[in-house]
Amino acid sequence: MSDHVPVLFKYLSILLLLLLSSCASLPPVEYRPPKEGYVTASWYGQQFHGRPTSSGERFDMYGMTSAHKTFDFGTKLRVTNPDNSRSVDVIVNDRGPFIPGRDLDLSYGAAREIGFAEKGVGTVRIEYLGRDMRYVKRIPFEPVTASEGLTIQVGAFLETSNAQRLKEGLDLSYRDVYVTTAQVKGQQFYRVRIGKFNSYENAYSLAEKLGNEGYTTLIVSFN
């Protein structure tokens, strides 16, 4: 039996090398573009004109933009109205719509461009055109220590309605989103934050994910 032991080890070594080489050659995870096809769309306008979007930009009701529940900010879409075959290219810079059954919120300007403004709600076709990578936010690695823990701040506003709207957008994909208040130079700010972390590394990991999605984040002490 001892004669077979070296042979057995030889075959086991070959098998191990094959397994390791196959693992090393696995392709890297690639970004998956949004699914194309027909979706239910609506539009928003005057009520939110000039207010901050979830990406931090000011909403321009006449701009060619849109809101989606999960698409990364900077995602570029071609939206076509099947009723008249008119198309418009928009960029996702906001979260929404928040009404069940709706998939995409167009700005008033984009809806008007394809003859959709009068319709209000209906079916459109979307095509993925790529992403504007300028929306990606990089998080500088600057360790913060705090005995009470750390949290991620995504926004601070003077108006509670703006904070609540950002929270509503974050709630679509994240847990433990909350709004807290703080007095700064005699003014009350409403701060939108996510989670509580015992280590900077854990906080940074989520902050980096948020930054890649297009949110502006800040790691601060939990207080």
Burial of 7 (0-12, 13-18, 19+ CB in 10 A): exposed
CB 77, CB 130: distance < 8 Å: no
Shared domain check, 107 and 83 = yes
Shared domain check, 58 and 116 = yes
Taking the alpha carbons of 196, 202, 204, 205 in that order, is the dihedral positive or negative? negative
Q: List the CATH number of the domain containing 168.
A: 3.30.70.1070
Give the residue carrying structure tokens 């096809």.
37
> Residue 143: phi, psi to the nearest 5?
-55, 135
- 72-118 pLDDT, tens per residue? 999 999 999 999 999 999 999 999 999 999 999 999 999 999 999 99
Domain stop point among 105, 135, 165: 135
Distance CA 116, CA 96 (A): 18
Pairing between β-strand 75-81 and β-strand 122-131 as defined by DSSP bridges: antiparallel
Shared domain check, 119 and 46 = yes
- Domain annotation covers residue 140: no
Q: Which domain holds residue 174?
A: 150-221
- pTM of the predicted structure, to 2 decimals: 0.82
